[in-house]
Structure 1
Amino acid sequence: MREYSVRPNKDATAWMVKIEDVAPETSFDQKDEAIAHAEEMAKDKAPSRLLIYNNKMEVEEERDFS
């Protein structure tokens, strides 16, 4: 199962979409835009999981796609 994540950069000025917790795939100014992009990618590569982090780097939400 592939794992995608949406995380803030270190000063929370941008949101990064990562695949398998490696280097960022894409960067967005808005968290909602990053989530929408990551969700689309995760749905296309199901089964997969999307982890969404808050600005304190804590998992805020987990979504599974099958």
Structure 2
Amino acid sequence: MKKYSVEPNKDVTGWFVKIEDIAPTDLYDEKSVAIEKAEELAKENKPSKVSIQDENKEVIEERTF
């Protein structure tokens, strides 16, 4: 199962979408846009899981596809 995560950058000025918690794919200005992109990637690579973090880097939600 592939794992994707949405997490803030160091200054919480943007949001990264990461694959397998290794390398970020892109940096987005808005959290909602980053979540949409992570879900899109997860749906294309089923089975997958998306982990969404808050500003404190704590997991607030997980979605499975």
**Range class of TM-score, shorter chain:** over 0.9
Matched with 1:45 is 45
Matched with 2:36 is 36
Equivalent position SS for 2:57: coil
Structure 1: 5+ residue runs without aligned partners?
A: none
Q: Distance in 2 between matches of 1:40 and 1:24?
A: 15
Give the TM-score normalised by structure 2: 0.98
- Using the TM superposition, give the Cα deviation of residue 11 of structure 1 relative to its aligned residue in structure 2, in angstroms: 1.0
Equivalent position SS for 2:35: helix
- Using the TM superposition, give the Cα deviation of residue 54 of structure 1 relative to its aligned residue in structure 2, in angstroms: 0.1
| Runs of 4+ with >4 A deviation | none
Q: Do structure 1's residue 24 and structure 2's residue 24 form an aligned pair?
A: yes
Give the TM-score normalised by structure 1: 0.97
Letter in 2 for 1:39: E
Structure 2: 5+ residue runs without aligned partners?
A: none
Deviations 1:2-30 (A, max 9, x none): 00000000110000000000111111000
Equivalent position SS for 2:13: coil
Q: Please list, as runs of the form range in 1=range in 2, the aligned pairs for 1:2-17 lying within 5 A after superposition.
A: 2-17=2-17
